[in-house]
Each structure stands twice: as structure tokens, then as C-alpha cells.
Amino acid sequence: MPDDNSHTSSRRQILTGVAAAGLVTAAGASRSRAAEMAAPTPALVDPENAYPRPPFPQQSQPWPGLAGKMTPRPDHGETSYRGSGRLAGRKALITGGDSGIGRAAAIAYAREGADVAIAYLPAEEPDAREVIALIRAAGRKAVALPGDLRNRKYCDTLVQRAHRELGGLDILVSNAGRQRHQDSILDISDEQFDETFRTNIYALFYLSKAAIPLMPRGGAIIATASVNAFSPSEILLDYSATKGAIVAFVKSLAKQMVHRGIRVNAVAPGPFWTALQVSGGQTEENIHNFGAETPMGRAGQPVELAPVYVLLAASEASYITGQVYGAAGGTGVG
Ligand code: NAD
Ligand code: MG
């Protein structure tokens, strides 16, 4: 593979050599500094073959599942995500920040310079500890706030504690979700229906209500919807209904929030390799072939969504509100 850095590095060597000889001009010195500050050219990635393809090994875990027990382990950007100060000084709360898509957002936000609070279920402490360590390794403040989002009181105290312990709240990522497959509406218990709505849509309502009065102009709310909002799976009836509700909620709230200076957007992922899928979210057969139905023929890895969550939180996205961003391996849905 050709060395894409060859031009930059040879130029840097030349400039350094000139400086060492004491022959450098003021203009030359500033060019030298610019060359040294330039980031290395990122390698080109072949999207079709960048990550594991199905078949995946058969596996299932009791809900809510742990990313640390999945085979292969999902890639949340632990070793690959590079920040560039796009969220420097921001304070972010991410629900479901222990694993999957929320973990990828947490790692990216910290490496972009944000302090991050993560919310998760107490049973997910092993995953959460890894994320807390990664946020701290990025030199940022990390706050762990376990609890159950089906409980309205927890939603309120979660936002208040994040605000207090981070010293502000600029970004709310309402990402936690519940997904249980059932072949028929006749198999969906009233309890399941209620829990799916509580986790996926009621919590978004409660968290937004608690956070908005605390958020400054320039703040951002980001919800995680799904391709199921637009092309609902027949085995995910209750889940798909909540995801459709999230899309409508975000589009309406975005209009309301324009004059408060808060942007509101959603992300609509296709099939991503996460604990939600292997802990009752999909049939075992669907896990085995997970992502095969997409034109790319593979599942997404959580790290592949990190740039979308960063963009929607960053100030450069000042004209982006009320939008739904898809990432679905070529299906074009979302
Ligand atoms: P995940 O299991 O890694 O994350 C979901 C998180 O939700 C859990 O880690 C848990 O902390 C949290 N959660 C669930 N119920 C909760 C409760 N009652 N109280 C507190 N927290 C609770 O899986 P993921 O796929 O990263 O899910 C993140 C979001 O992405 C969800 O909203 C999901 O619907 C959405 N999504 C996922 C996919 C996919 O293919 N993985 C596709 C589209 C949308
Ligand atoms: Mg989890």
C-alpha cells in the first residue's frame, strides 16, 4: 500500500533539517509548525469488508446482555476512534452508554473533549466500568448513573445528577432501548407493550422535559430511532411503534426548540452488532445471519455510528435540526 504520508513526512524532515541548520526564516518556521500539527492522513477504509460478516456464532444472553460477553466483541471504537476537539468542554448525558451504540457515542464524545455521564441498568456494571475507564483515559470527567428508565423518578434525578456532577448539560443522548421479538401481536403481553413504550418513548419525554430547562442555547438532544420506524419488522411490532413515535417526537420538538436554541435530531440505525440483539431482540436464526439482508451483506459496528452522534452534537451542525440520520449498510432506509 502506498505511504500516503510520504509527502508530508519528507517535507517535515526537510523543514526540521533546515531549522536545525539555523537557516530558517520566520515564514519557514510557521510552515514547519503547521506541518508538525497536521494529523496523519487516515487510511482509506473499504466499507464492504471493514468489519465482520455473517454468519455469526450462535449465542444468546439473558436481557439486558453484556457487550463483553459477545462473540465477536462489538467494535465501539475503543482502539480506533480519534478525536479532534470537536466537543471540547461540552457536558453530555448518554443513556445506554455502557454498551453498543451509546458506548460508541460515549467514547467518541470523550475523545472529542466532552465530559460524559452514562446511564445504564445496574446489571450492566461490568460494561459500564469499561466505558468509565475509557472516558477517564481520554482525560475527561466520567460520571456513572445506574438506574431503571422505566421509573419516572429516576429519569428526573438522572438529569439533575448529570447536570450537577458534570457542572452543566449541553448534550442529551436518549439512546437506551428495549427490543423483544414476538411472532404475533397475540404473543405480546400488556406488560411487554408497556415496558417497551416506557423505555423507548416515555423516557425520552421525561428526560427531555427535565433537561430542556437546564440546557443552554447551542445545546443538542439526540434520540436513537431505527430503520424500523420506516420499514417495520413483522416480529418487532411494539418496538417499531415506539421508533415511529420517536421520529415524530423529534420532528415536533425540534420546531418547538428553535427559539430556545436547542437542536433536536434522531439517528436511525440499520442492523448493528450489539447486546440488544443477542439478549432477546432477534431470533437465534436472525443473529446467525445478522446484517446479511443489507446490500453490504454485513452488520454495522457501533463505532460506525460514532461520527453521526458527534456531528449532531457539534456546533458545526447549527442548521441541522428535526432530521433523522440513517446508517443502514445500503438499504437507504432512514
Ligand atoms: P445495547 O443493548 O448495547 O444498548 C441498549 C441499552 O439500553 C442497554 O445497554 C441498557 O443500558 C439500556 N436500557 C434498556 N432498558 C433500560 C431500562 N429499563 N433502564 C435503563 N436503561 C435501559 O444495544 P444498542 O443496539 O446499542 O441499543 C441502543 C439504541 O439503538 C436502542 O434505542 C436501540 O433500539 C437502537 N437501535 C439499535 C439497532 C441495532 O441493530 N443494534 C438498530 C436500530 C436502533
Ligand atoms: Mg448494555
pLDDT digits (tens, 9 = 90+) for 67-81: 999 999 999 999 999
Q: What are the Cα distances from residue 49, in Å, to 39, 129, 180?
A: 25, 31, 30
Q: Is the CB of 179 under 6 A from ligand 1?
A: yes
In a domain, 39, yes or no: no
Q: Is the CB of 74 under 6 A from ligand 1?
A: no
List of E strands, 36-161 = 91-95, 115-120, 142-146
| pLDDT value of position 41 | 81
Residue 195 CB-half CA count within 13 A? 9
| pLDDT value of position 7 | 35
| pLDDT value of position 333 | 85
Per-residue 3-state assignment (H helix, E strand, C coil) for the chain: CCCCCHHHHHHHHHHHHHHHCCCCCHHHHHHHHHHHHCCCCCCCCCHHHCCCCCCCCCCCCCCCCCHHHCCCCCCCCCCCCCCCCCCCCCEEEEECCCCHHHHHHHHHHHHCCCEEEEEECHHHHHHHHHHHHHHHHCCCCEEEEECCCCCHHHHHHHHHHHHHHHCCCCEEEECCCCCCCCCCHHHCCHHHHHHHHHHHHHHHHHHHHHHHHHCCCCCEEEEECCHHHCCCCCCCHHHHHHHHHHHHHHHHHHHHHHHHCCEEEEEEECCECCHHHHHHHCCHHHHHCCCCCCCCCCCECHHHHHHHHHHHHCHHHCCCCCCEEEECCCCCCC
Beta strands 263-269; 220-224: pairing state: parallel
Please give the grid coordinates belonging to residue 156: 428526573
Q: What is the pTM of this model?
A: 0.90
For residue 220, pLDDT beyond 80: yes
- Under a CB-based contact definition with an 8 Å cutoff, are residues 331 and 295 in contact? yes
Q: By residue range, what is the domain housing residue 248?
A: 88-327
Region 153-179: mean pLDDT is: 98
The active-site residue, picked from 239, 309, 319, 325, is 239
Region 251-271: mean pLDDT is: 98
In a domain, 195, yes or no: yes
In a domain, 166, yes or no: yes
Q: How confident is the model over 104-142, as pLDDT tens digits?
A: 999 999 999 999 999 999 999 999 999 999 999 999 999
In a domain, 315, yes or no: yes
Q: What is the mean pLDDT of the chain?
A: 91
Residue carrying the nine cell digits 431482540: 281
In a domain, 59, yes or no: no
For Cα atoms 317, 269, 141, give the angle at the middle one, nearest 5 degrees.
60
Number of domains in the chain: 1
In a domain, 29, yes or no: no
Gap from CA of 48 to ligand 1 centroid (Å): 25
In a domain, 308, yes or no: yes
For residue 27, pLDDT beyond 50: no
Q: Name the CA radius of gyration of the chain, rounded.
A: 22
pLDDT-based confidence at residue 42 (cuts at 50, 70, 90): confident
Please give the grid coordinates belonging to residue 138: 481520554
Q: How confident is the model over 270-280, as pLDDT tens digits?
A: 999 999 999 99
Gap from CA of 96 to ligand 1 centroid (Å): 6
239 is catalytic: yes
Strand partners, 230: none
**Can you give the CATH number for the domain in which 215 is found?**
3.40.50.720
* Backbone phi, psi, residue 269, to 5°: -75, 150
Residues, CB within 5 angstroms of ligand 2 (ion): 98-99, 124, 275
* Nearest in space to 220 (alpha carbons), one of 101, 92, 326, 327: 92
Please give the grid coordinates belonging to residue 99: 454498551
- Under a CB-based contact definition with an 8 Å cutoff, are residues 329 and 270 in contact? yes
Q: Is the CB of 150 under 6 A from ligand 1?
A: yes
In a domain, 222, yes or no: yes
Gap from CA of 117 to ligand 2 centroid (Å): 15
Atom of ligand 1 nearest to the CA of 224: 32
* Backbone phi, psi, residue 287, to 5°: -65, -45
For Cα atoms 68, 73, 78, give the angle at the middle one, nearest 5 degrees.
85
